Structure 1
Amino acid sequence: MATQYPLSVWPWDNLGAFKYVVYGPLIAKAVRSRAWEGTGSQLKDDVWCVHLLIICGLRALIHQLWYSYANMLFLSRNRLIIQRGVDFKQIDREWNWDNFIILQALIASMGCYFFPGKLGELLPLWGDPRGYLCALLLHVAVSEPLYYWIHRYLLHSDDSPLYRHYHRVHHSSAVPQSYTAGHATPLEHLIWTAIMGIPILGATALGLGSLSLIYAHVLVFDFLRSMGHSNVEVVPHALFDSFPFLRYLIYTPTYHSLHHTEMKSNYCLFMPLYDALGKTLNPKSWEMHRSISLNAVDKNNSRVRVPEFVFLAHAVDLSAALHAPFVLRCFSSKPFAWNLGLLPLLPSTFLVMLVMWTSSKTFLSSFYYLRSRLCQTWGVPRFGFQYFLPFAKDGINRHIEQAILRADKLGVKVISLAALNKNEALNGGGLLFVKKHPNLRVRVVHGNTLTAAVILNEICSNPNVGQVFLTGATSKLGRAIALYLCRKRVRVLMLTLSEERFKAIQEEAPPECRSYLVQVGKYQAAEACKTWIVGKWMTPREQRWAAPGTHFHQFVVPPILRFRRDCTYGALAAMKLPQDVQGLGTCEYTMGRGVVHACHAGGVVHMLEGWTHHEVGAIDVDKIDVVWEAALKHGLRPLIHQHP
């Protein structure tokens, strides 16, 4: 077992989410204050606890807002400093980034014990304006140089115990994020707490302290720390061009990013002045900042790599929209699962949905690297239920068309349509757009060929399957699955009331295989069949006709309810990405880490193979095995579902 050095790990590391119990005494005191009512020394201390809780909440919100902005690529794509995604390893390392807020809340709460009954008198809500000036001077003259020299000492050698056991934790994050600002050891945060507290304590000792000063100093401090770690350049170069001296008074995200990539430089807290005086200022700082700032407003920015592949996703419902990677990283980095903690966020999500309805712009939702090729996931501002509203059809297709044309203009090679974005009734599996724009350079792909391949591989891997029951039999996937299985001499019971559509599919089969396709009109016809392929949503009542031990394969969106305990249910067709995928830090809805829907993987394979055809409309049954072999060749692997 590795040796643990003093103050190198947090005392509540093993508590998980229960660490927030530490806030319990503060909450109890806050409740006791009876919403600011009453008098007396004890109640004044209780009100101080209310302020501490408010400050803690605001600090967490500042880090969250910076994170959300940095990951809204429709706003920040051209401003990214490090063109990489944040992977699961970094997310897991930074999972407890807010430990420092708990630590500093505990330290601040000790004021009740050192100054019992006097905090309300020592700290008025609004103090002397000179208190702000005093705090600013103490920050510039004491906190800044003190931070600079301590920070420089921590990094003076890569082999020093202080760096290896303490400061290296902070530098373990390859791509700085606002959460990275809080990712450090307890020893470091105790030092930073003292540095941050000097201006407040100094002003208070001079009789100039106030609650408003504490709020302002702490929140501005966190704002600047989050900005510096955000990986998004927000300071315009024109500001430094007009007022050159300002470049020594305020750092930029680019400036601080260089400290993480080239550690022996740019040690300052917020003021590069001390790096200039200490001769540790990175010579690339200003030119790199100017370059990124100029490119941020350049629509033809050559610095930003154009993605070769785009997956056009969509939200399913209000709660699933919260799984977007720019909302809550702790939520989107795990497979989607409903929990009560989402309830307070639903009203704001509903308002965002209304704004999206009225917007005509497609927005980016996340990005990641795949085999060192920049790939992105874009989102269509629509929710699942809208796809089933007849009057919404034209509007949805307009958004999808705009996304395709934008991808074509950017130079994207392949754009793949997710689930409902390629609905047959909506646009014929993308065929509508290819016909309307015959000169598209971007290849439009529905990815259903690989979806069919995944389902068929799972069915055919079971030698005992001689008969299957297929719902949604005349859809794109249903047709392809039926034709493929009949070639393998598997009897397919096709549930459809349209004899004309059934006959059309049957005529596509080789003459010697057509007898394996059987039209049925009721679920009762499948009572003896234990392999069901569900391509149309099925009610619990309809599931009752399945025999005990039946396994439900499915390609229906949304998936059917797991109603039968004596049956097994397969997940939607999916594939696991290769181990060398870089920068992947978001789970695709309910899929596990590193797993994507088969249609998504199908688009990736299309891009990696360099195929130049569009994959729209009907599935080419002859290409199912070709696409399957190509996926395996590139390291994608199907998920193994356990079933009889």
Structure 2
Amino acid sequence: MASKPGILTEWPWTWLGNFKYVVLAPWVIHSTYSYLVKDKTQRDLSNVLIFPMLLSRAVHNLIWISVSRYRTAKGNNRILDKTIEFEQVDRETNWDDQIIFSGLLFYLASKYLENGSHLPIWRIDGFIWVFILHTGPVEFLYYWLHRALHHHFLYSRYHSHHHSSIVTEPITSVIHPFAEHIAYFTLFSIPMLSTVYMKTASIGSLATYLTYIDLMNNMGHCNFEHIPKWLFSTFPPLKYLMYTPSYHSLHHTQFRTNYSLFMPFYDYVYGTMDKSSDSLYEKSLTRMEEAPDVVHLTHITTPESIYHLRLGFAHLASEPHKTKWYLWLMWPITLWPMMVTWIYGRTFTAERNVFKHLKLQTWAIPKYNIQYYMKWQRESINLMIEEAILAASDKGAKVFTLGLLNQDEGLNSSGELFLRKHPHLKVKLVDGSSLAVAIVLNSIPKGTSQVVLRGKLSKIAYSIALALCQGGVQVYTMREDEHKKLKAMVSKEAGHNLILSQYGTPKIWLVGDGLGEDEQKKAPKGTLFIPFSIFPPKKHRKDCLYYSTPAMLTPKHLENVDSCENWLPRRVMSAWRIAGILHAMEEWNVHECGNMMFSIEKIWKASLEHGFRPLTMSVDPKPNKTTIATEI
């Protein structure tokens, strides 16, 4: 929002929320129905193609978002090192409003404007006129409009909203108050309306012009430079006719320079070109890929999770991963990348963060949960993990953490497989189990004397049971085989605190993978479920409380956080990911994987000293209410 919002700041359909698309529904239904029922000679192809054009614009924007986020995460050719946070993501969620607005204007023009309907597919003279009128009146008028918007009166009421984003993303280009978009569409309509009145307009020329506007807008607001130098060397006048991302980035940092729309020509003419434009362009082009200090390796979970990745839909990535009903409608689209990653895929950089002096990167393996449980997929997955570890080591990373199923004991013995193959590995391999144990132990309410331990036994489960039994807490197990395995892991004295019972009476349940609905029903009313598993258990009881999987709130000095880690809330990080940061900050020159466990007390103390705070997330018995409590 602008610092002093003026009139026509809000979009007319803001009050509709996620149902704002209904404003297009009557027009889409009418155009489709008319095209289907009318005689071939009366059908208006230009009218029925408006909606597909709007969809193509949305897809165009989404592609730019993904490409830009991927490139800025890697670091090569990045322009600004400043961060993007949740505030900017929330401010830019309405990027599709301008697409809805343009759709309404096209439908109105098609219905009420003379010569606005039954346009031909292509006319070369109309195409030429569109771009002549753009390079002349549109670019000139936009330059002076833009300068006027930087006058303190208009800037404080309108344009400051756009400039709230210092580090721009492609969709930042269309984040303006409604009044500004009215002015912009008035300018962009000059070539389109002129050719309509001249009877030279065509579907091809209008669609090309809109695509050109979107292309240049998105390209100019990327935070990485990708316009090759040879382009300007081959055709020197092009520097006056086409701007670059670094050129426009200076406008967002300097504010009073580089006002032009897509053509820097008018900045040269009126003396408003930033003197550092060329040097920033050269510097950005030669910037190398960033070398991380800590790498966290994750993977895709479910087919629809691709939309929740930071490289997917920015808004969905900024919220905890929850199943959305409308994503089921996208299954034909979802299946396509699923098949591609199934057949061919390579590890990619998904996110970049900064923690004090440490450079953090999250890498993702294009494999789904289901593939990790297929024996014939294990070799290829382990090969991808191994390649990622070696790549991180070659880049000079200090610590490499294994997230989600990448550390599964059945897959690679919690990473021990890679240490056996590479005993002199420079990068330290961390599975984060010690911090996960510490978080679970510190999540148990004080004064607790009895707990139930359920779910798949793992090194985390054994460590929790050992610590509790040694501390005098009775640990109930419900299966004889589990009881025997745990008994073998603890001393004879501590083993007295292990109790085998089919009906555990304690109301504190520590649960791992494999906790089904039947077992949850055995818990008494008001039971507190505390997961030690990587994935959260399904919540089958409304009369019980469920804590989060082992995780902590991150401190403010963790920067560039604009997405959620899987199902966790904003600015909450899993124990497995935090552990790598702590190992690097404390310069612990040890591996933590396989059967190796780090000091639970030591890593817990380090997490608190570096600003991480305990998280207790539970679901209220009343549906759709989430409570987050922290201990400070």
When normalised by structure 2's length, the TM-score is 0.92
Cα distance in structure 2, aligned partners of 1:479 and 1:5: 62
Structure 1 counterpart SS, 2:154: helix
Q: Which residue of 2 aligns with 1:101?
A: 99
Query: Residue 125 of structure 1 aligns with which residue?
Result: 121
Where do residues 200-599 of structure 1 align in structure 2 (5 Å cutoff)?
A: 200-295=192-287, 301=288, 304-359=289-344, 361-371=346-356, 373-459=358-444, 461-463=445-447, 465-472=448-455, 474-494=457-477, 495=479, 497=481, 501-506=485-490, 509=491, 512-518=493-499, 520=500, 524-599=501-576
Q: Name the residue aligned to 1:298.
A: none
- What amino acid is the match of 2:516? T
- In structure 1, distance between residues paired with 2:26 and 2:483: 71
Distance in 2 separating the partners of 1:497 and 1:555: 19
Tell me how far 1:38 sits from its aligned partner: 2.4
Preserved CA contact (<8 Å) 1:255 1:285:
yes
Cα RMSD (Å): 2.5
Cα contact 1:417–1:445 (8 A) shared by 2: yes
Q: CA deviation at 1:267?
A: 1.1
Q: Distance in 1 between matches of 2:112 and 2:429?
A: 68
1:360 is displaced (CA, Å) by 5.7
Structure 2: runs of 5 or more not aligned: 621-632
Distance 1:485 1:472 in 2: 17
Q: Residue 72 of structure 1 aligns to a residue in which SS?
A: helix
CA contact (8 A) 2:552 2:614 kept: yes
Task: Return the alpha-carbon distance in structure 2 between the equivalents of residues 139 and 204 of structure 1.
Answer: 15
How far apart in 2 are the matches of 1:67 and 1:53? 22
Distance 1:615 1:500 in 2: 26
1:339 to 1:409, Cα distance in 2 relative to 1, 3 A: same
Q: Is residue 2:632 matched to residue 1:637? A: no
CA contact (8 A) 2:462 2:486 kept: no
**Alpha-carbon distance between aligned partners in 1 of 2:558 and 2:536, rounded to the nearest angstrom:** 28
Which residue of the other structure, out of 170, 174, 177, is the alignment partner of 1:178?
170
Contact 2:465 2:486 in 1 (8 A): no
Q: CA 1:351 to 1:84, structure 2 compared with 1: closer, same or farther past 3 Å?
A: farther
> Mean Cα displacement is larger for which, 86-95 or 577-586?
577-586
Q: Say if 2:430 and 2:593, in contact at 8 Å, map to a contact too.
A: yes
Change (3 A) 1:28 1:489: same
Comparing 447-456 with 8-17, greater Cα deviation is found at 8-17
Deviation (angstroms), 1:74: 9.2
Alpha-carbon distance change, 109 to 534 in structure 1, aligned in 2, over 3 angstroms = same
How far has the Cα of 1:84 moved from its partner?
4.2
SS at match of 1:553: strand
Distance 1:610-1:151 versus aligned 2 partners, 3 A rule = same
CA contact (8 A) 2:65 2:311 kept: yes
Instruction: Measure how far apart 1:526 and its partner are.
Output: 3.8
CA deviation vs aligned residue, 1:107-131 (integer Å, no higher than 9, x gap): 3333245436x5335x32222x122
Secondary structure of 1:226's aligned partner? helix
Q: 1:73 to 1:138 in 2, by over 3 A?
A: closer
Letter in 2 for 1:126: W
- For 1:232, the aligned partner's letter is F
Map 1:7-86 → 2, pairs under 5 A: 7-35=8-36, 37-38=38-39, 44=44, 48-73=46-71, 77-86=75-84
8 Å contact 2:69–2:311 — kept in the other structure? yes
Q: Distance in 1 between matches of 2:156 and 2:536?
A: 49
Partners of 1:29 and 1:49 within 8 A in 2: no
Sort the Cα spacing of 1:35 and 1:65 in 2 relative to 1 into closer, same or farther, 3 A: farther
| Matching of residue 90 in structure 1 with residue 88 in structure 2 | yes
Matches within 5 A, 1:618-637: 618=595, 620=597, 623-637=599-613
- Answer yes or no: is 1:609 the counterpart of 2:586: yes
2:144 is matched with: 149
* One-letter identity of the residue aligned with 2:565: E
Q: Is the 8 A contact 1:310 1:415 kept in 2?
A: yes
> Is the CA contact 1:237–1:294 (under 8 Å) kept in the aligned structure 2?
no
Give yes or no for contact 2:86–2:561 (8 Å, CA) kept in 1.
yes
Name the aligned partner's letter for residue 149 of structure 2. L
Residues 545 and 13 of structure 1: CA distance in aligned 2, closer, same or farther (over 3 Å): closer
- For the residue of structure 1 that corresponds to 2:161, the secondary structure is helix
Change (3 A) 1:77 1:33: farther
312 and 569 in structure 1: CA distance in 2 versus 1, 3 angstrom threshold: same
Contact 1:471/1:496, CA 8 A, preserved across alignment:
no
Shift in Å, 1:223:
1.1
Partners of 1:173 and 1:180 within 8 A in 2: yes
Per-residue deviation at 1:491? 1.7
Separation of aligned partners in 1, 2:525 and 2:146 = 67
In the alignment, the residues of structure 1 paired with residue 619 and residue 503 of structure 2 have an alpha-carbon distance, to the nearest angstrom, of 18
Q: CA deviation at 1:334?
A: 0.6
CA distance in 2, matches of 1:417, 1:342: 29
Deviation larger for 27-36 or 486-495: 27-36
Q: Partners in 2 of 1:573 and 1:274 — Cα distance?
A: 56
Letter in 2 for 1:487: Q
Once residues 139 and 80 of structure 1 are traced to their aligned partners in structure 2, the CA distance between those partners, rounded to angstroms, is 30
Distance in 2 (alpha carbons) for counterparts of 1:81 and 1:450: 36
How many Å separate the matches in 2 of 1:58 and 1:370? 38
Distance change in 2, residues 1:245/1:455 (3 Å): same
Structure 2 letter corresponding to 1:471:
R
- Specify the SS of the correspondent of 2:363: strand
Q: Distance in 1 between matches of 2:396 and 2:558?
A: 22
**Shift in CA distance, 221/69, structure 1 to aligned 2, threshold 3 Å:** same
Partner Cα distance (2:148, 2:507) in 1: 69
The structural deviation recorded for 1:399 is: 0.8
| Structure 2: distance between partners of 1:431 and 1:595 | 28
Percent of paired sites with the same residue? 33
8 Å Cα contact 1:74-1:364 kept in structure 2: no
Secondary structure, aligned partner of 1:55: helix
Residue identity in the other structure for 1:492: V
